[in-house]
Structure 1
Amino acid sequence: MLGYFPQLREELDVKTIEFVRPRASIITFLGEKNQECPCLILADPTKAKGLPIQQYGPHTFITDDKIIIEYLARNNGISRPAHD
């Protein structure tokens, strides 16, 4: 998504991390069991109304890439991919 919509890098706080586990920067926020990639930690969970989201402590997040795309499309004025 970031390649197709580079403006998202300016609108979001994007962190690129190593793929190899453990992913310490994710564990810090979401615990050891929730270190999947991609991961979108939501600043405002109310913008995810109706979407399946997860919770860890005070953090609400999404790890499913299709749900992340849906969230970004709804809240950042981008289109959804034409294919599944």
Structure 2
Amino acid sequence: MADRLYLLNPGWFDGQGGPWFCPAGAVIEGVLGFYPRLREELQVTYLDHPRPRPAVVAEVGEEHQGCPILVIDETVDWPAARISVETGRRFLQDEAIIPYLTARYGIGRPHP
């Protein structure tokens, strides 16, 4: 099964106003823009902001619905991955995603 990336659609409203976008998701979108082939190699799914987010809950459980989230292919060993207690699947969130994409897919690294 391919790595599965979940991102939030932009332009949502909540109790604090809006429209909003996810800053961490915008960084991942930038990486996808720099390396368009990633869209072919990853399974990318866009979700609306309100919770629950059933697609993510099915992957890693209710506790880890924050996006962006990358659910790692079961055949890949990545020591920094977190493990869902509910499903046993390994995943990365936010800034932990880019080092994985760099190592696994051979894209550039962010400059320090």
What TM-score comes out, normalization by structure 1 length? 0.83
Greater share of strand: 2
Separation in structure 2 between the aligned mates of residue 54 and residue 32 of structure 1, nearest angstrom: 14
- The residue matched to 2:83 in structure 1 has which SS? strand
- Alignment of structure 1 residues 26-45 onto 2, 5 Å: 26-43=56-73, 44-45=75-76
RMSD: 1.4
Q: Is the radius of gyration larger for structure 1 or structure 2? A: 2
What letter matches 1:32 in structure 2?
E
Of the three residues 50, 55, 67, the one matched with 2:83 is 55
Separation in structure 2 between the aligned mates of residue 21 and residue 45 of structure 1, nearest angstrom: 29
Higher relative contact order (CA 8 A, sep 6+): 2
2:104 corresponding residue in structure 1 = 75
Q: Does the CA-based 8 Å contact 2:60-2:88 persist in structure 1?
A: no
Structure 2, unaligned runs of 5 or more: 1-30
Query: Structure 1 stretches (4+) deviating beyond 2 angstroms?
Result: none
